[in-house]
Amino acid sequence: MDNMLHVSSSPHIHSGKTTQSIMRDVLIALLPATVAGTVIFGWRSLLVVAVCVASCILLEALFNLITKKEQTVGDLSAAVTGLLLGLNLPVNIPIWQCVIGCIFAILLVKCLFGGIGNNLVNPAITARVFMLVSFGSMAVQATPTIVDTVSGATPLVEIANGNSPSLTDLFLGTTGGAIGETCALALLIGFAYLLIRRVITWHIPVSFVGSVFLLSFFMEGFDFSAALSLILSGGLLIGAIFMATDYVTSPSTSAGKLIFGLGAGLLTFVIRYFSVYPEGVSFAILFMNILNPYIEKLTARKIFGGPRA
């Protein structure tokens, strides 16, 4: 009752959300993808994910201890980074490479820039790009253990070669790829959960995936199923739902979010079709992360009653 008369500046109404509760929701939303990855690729995927989560948490705790900063491990953001990074790795990646990736994500991208809220780019996506550039093992994609398949190539590589996997395989995730990115069904369940819990809005994922779909639709000669298989394959869904929507590195206004998603979709499309890399989602998100401050500036809301922008 002693809080009845509480005098403070705005905002006056608190939704009750904290960084911790939001991050916990993201972790829950990623659970289906983790389970699906374990079922599809076997027990080693759980080991990879666990190593990533554990080393991210440990590294952040150690950094805060050594530099005598406020301990921020409790907000679970390091766990989210670790889980996302783990889900973005192929199942047969050497464990030491996972740890190096976590060091890059947590120490270089996050802690050295001042910890949560101050990182310029998303730690998980940057670490994925770093590992893609560094380690040949990132390109060797795992094959699912639960179905008989002879091909080790990712769907995008196969599509480039002219033999597209079936839409059912792509939807259920029984194709080659990183642990958490293949099962579209599990990722969409996570998306629905995040939307219901109002952790994210629809703007970035829909404009991101939608623009890739439309551009691919035109590029593939108005072939609906080909365009659909292109948005279900690769890291597009996990990137659009979980990584492009990171609060710190994406715009805060609806218009800004739409611009962010469209830009990322356009870049993904360009990299997929016109570059040596089969997949461009991580590069696209990283690039848009860097553009984010300018998008924020461009779409800043006019102050009510203030001077005209």
Partner 1 sequence: MKKNNGFSVLMNGIIKENPVFVLILGTCPTLATTTNVFGAFGMGISTLIVLICSNILISLLRKVIPDNVRIPCYIVIIAGFVTIVQMVVHAFFPALYDMLGVYLALIVVNCIILGRAEMFASKNSVGRSALDGLGMGIGFTLALCSIAVIREVLGAASFAGIAIPFLADYKIDFLVKAPGGMVVYGLLIALVSALTFGKSPKKKEFSCAGCPGAKLCGSAACHGEKHEEKEEK
CB of 129 or CB of 194, closer to partner 1: 129
Told to check if 167 binds partner 1 by CB under 8 A, we report no
**Neighbouring C-beta atoms of residue 210, cutoff 10 Å:** 16
Shortest reach from residue 246's CB to partner 1, in Å: 21
Closer residue to partner 1 (CB): 22 or 93: 93
Rounded to the nearest whole angstrom, what is the least distance from the CB of residue 133 to partner 1 in the complex? 5
**Residue 216 or 289: which CB sits closer to partner 1?**
289
Q: Does 96 bind partner 1 (CB under 8 A)?
A: yes
Give the whole-angstrom CA distance, residue 190 versus residue 36. 12
Q: Smallest distance from the beta carbon of 131 to partner 1, in angstroms?
A: 8
Residues that bind partner 1 (rule: CB under 8 A) add up to a total of: 9
**Could you tell me the smallest distance in angstroms from the CB atom of residue 135 to partner 1?**
7
Instruction: Identify which of residues 138 and 267 has a Cβ nearer to partner 1 in the complex.
Output: 138
With binding defined as CB under 8 A, does residue 283 bind partner 1?
A: no
Nearer residue to partner 1 within complex by CB, 101 or 180: 101
SS3 sequence of the chain: CCCCCCCCCCCCCCCCCCHHHHHHHHHHHHHHHHHHHHHHHCCHHHHHHHHHHHHHHHHHHHHHHHCCCCCCHHHCHHHHHHHHHHHCCCCCCCHHHHHHHHHHHHHHHHHHHCCCCCCCCCHHHHHHHHHHHHCHHHCCCECCCCCCCCCCCCHHHHHHHCCCCCHHHHHHCCCCECCCCCCHHHHHHHHHHHHHCCCCCCHHHHHHHHHHHHHHHHHCCCCHHHHHHHHHCCCHHHHHHHHCCCCCCCCCCHHHHHHHHHHHHHHHHHHHHHCCCCCCHHHHHHHHHHHHHHHHHHCCCCCCCCCCC
Question: Which residue in 88, 104, 100, 96 sits closest to 45, CA to CA?
Answer: 88
Spell out, one character per residue from 179 to 198, where the chain touches partner 1: x when CB under 8 A holds, - when not.
--------------------
Q: Between 98 and 137, how does the x/- string for binding to partner 1 read (CB under 8 A)?
A: --x-------x---x-----------------x--xxxx-
Q: CB 134 → partner 1: shortest distance, Å?
A: 4
Shortest distance, position 279 Cβ to partner 1, whole Å: 18
Smaller CB separation from partner 1, 21 or 92: 92
Which CB, 101 or 263, lies closer to partner 1? 101
Subset of residues 213 to 272 that bind partner 1, contact rule: CB under 8 A: none
Q: State the nearest-atom distance from the C-beta of 52 to partner 1, in Å.
A: 17
Q: Which is nearer to partner 1, 96 or 218 (CB)?
A: 96
45 CB-contact burial (10 Å; exposed 0-12 / middle 13-18 / buried 19+): buried
Point out which residues bind partner 1 (CB under 8 A).
Answer: 96, 100, 108, 112, 130, 133-136
